[in-house]
C-alpha cells in the first residue's frame, strides 16, 4: 500500500493557500489518512490547527488509531458504520476457497502453503481482507443459528488476531509469512 508522503501534504498546503475564484470554501479530502508518513503528519499539524479562511479538511480513516494523537486531537471525529452485508469479491472467494483447504489441514500443509504463497504487501493485505470478511460471515451465521465449525469465542479471537496483524503491518515491518503462519495455526 502506498504511503502519503510529505511532498503530497505540501501540495495540499499550497492548494489551501490559494484564494478561490468566487470566494467560496476550499475543501481537501485525505483518504486513508493512516497512510501518511510520520513526516507528512507532522507537516500537516499547523494546517489542521489553523486552517486559513474558508477551508474544510476531511481526513478519512478506517484505522484512526494509527494516526498521531497530535493529528487526531485537531480533528472532530465523525464515525460512519457500514450497514450492508460485506460483499466478497470473486478474488476474495478464490482466496477463501484456497485457504479453506489449508485451514482444515495439518500444520505441515499450512506451513507449506505460506512457504509457496506470494505474500508481497498487496497480496498479504488481500488475504487478510478476505479472511476478515469470511470470519465475519461465519460470526453472523453462528449468531443466526446456522451450523458453523467454530465457537463464537474462537471466531472473535481469530478476528482480533487478523485486526492485530493488519494494524501491525501498517506501523511495523511485519514478516508476512510468519504472520500468516501464526494466523493459520490459530485457525
Q: Model confidence over 151-171: pLDDT tens digits?
A: 888 999 999 999 889 888 877
Q: What pLDDT is attached to residue 47? A: 92
Task: Please choose, from the candidates 72, 75, 59, 55, the residue with its C-alpha nearest in 3D space to the C-alpha of residue 13.
Answer: 55
Q: What pLDDT is attached to residue 1? A: 57
Q: What grid cell was written down for 123?
A: 497480496
Counting residues of the chain whose pLDDT is more than 90, the rounded percentage is 26
Q: Give the burial class of 148: count Cβ atoms within 10 A of its Cβ; 0-12 exposed, 13-18 middle, 19 or more buried.
A: middle
Could you tell me how far CA 39 lies from the centroid of its own chain?
A: 20
| SS3 of residue 126 by DSSP | helix
CATH number for 6-72: choose from 3.20.20.70, 3.40.50.300, 3.30.390.10, 3.40.50.1820.
3.40.50.300
Q: Give the burial class of 45: count Cβ atoms within 10 A of its Cβ; 0-12 exposed, 13-18 middle, 19 or more buried.
A: middle
- pLDDT reading at 85 higher than 70: no
Tell me the CB-side half-sphere exposure of residue 141, using CA atoms within 13 A: 13
Residue 125 confidence class, pLDDT cut points 50, 70, 90? confident
Q: What grid cell was written down for 187?
A: 485457525
Which residues contact residue 168 at a Cβ distance below 8 angstroms, ignoring those fewer than 6 apart?
A: 174, 179
pLDDT tens sequence across 11-63: 999 999 888 777 788 889 999 999 999 999 999 999 999 888 889 999 998 88
Could you tell me how far CA 145 lies from the centroid of its own chain?
A: 30
| SS3 of residue 59 by DSSP | strand
Q: What pLDDT is attached to residue 41? A: 94
Residue 86 confidence class, pLDDT cut points 50, 70, 90? low
Return the minimum-mean-pLDDT range out of 50-64, 76-90, 109-123.
76-90
Global pTM exceeds 0.85: no
Q: What grid cell was written down for 151?
A: 465457537
For residues 183 and 101, the answer to whether their CB atoms sit within 8 Å is no
Q: What pLDDT is attached to residue 82? A: 53
Classify the phi-psi angles of 61: left when phi > 0, otherwise alpha if psi is within -120 to 50, otherwise beta: beta
CA distance 113 to 107: 10
Amino acid at each position: 500500500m502506498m504511503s502519503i508522503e510529505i511532498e503530497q501534504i505540501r501540495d495540499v498546503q499550497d492548494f489551501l493557500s490559494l484564494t478561490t475564484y468566487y470566494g467560496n470554501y476550499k475543501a481537501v479530502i485525505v483518504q486513508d489518512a493512516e497512510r501518511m508518513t510520520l513526516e507528512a503528519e507532522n507537516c500537516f499539524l499547523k494546517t489542521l490547527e489553523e486552517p486559513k479562511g474558508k477551508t474544510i479538511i476531511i481526513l478519512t480513516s478506517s484505522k484512526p488509531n494509527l494516526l498521531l494523537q497530535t493529528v487526531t486531537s485537531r480533528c472532530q471525529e465523525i464515525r460512519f458504520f457500514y450497514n450492508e452485508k460485506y460483499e466478497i469479491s470473486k478474488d476474495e472467494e478464490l482466496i477463501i476457497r484456497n485457504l479453506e483447504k489449508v485451514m482444515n489441514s495439518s500444520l505441515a500443509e499450512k506451513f507449506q502453503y505460506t512457504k509457496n504463497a506470494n505474500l508481497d504487501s498487496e497480496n498479504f493485505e488481500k488475504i487478510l481482507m478476505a479472511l476478515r470478511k469470511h470470519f465475519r460471515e461465519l460470526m453472523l451465521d453462528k449468531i443466526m443459528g446456522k451450523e458453523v465449525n467454530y465457537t463464537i469465542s474462537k471466531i472473535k479471537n481469530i478476528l482480533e488476531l487478523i485486526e492485530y496483524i493488519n494494524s501491525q503491518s501498517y506501523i511495523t515491518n511485519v514478516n508476512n509469512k510468519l504472520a500468516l503462519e501464526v494466523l493459520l495455526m490459530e485457525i
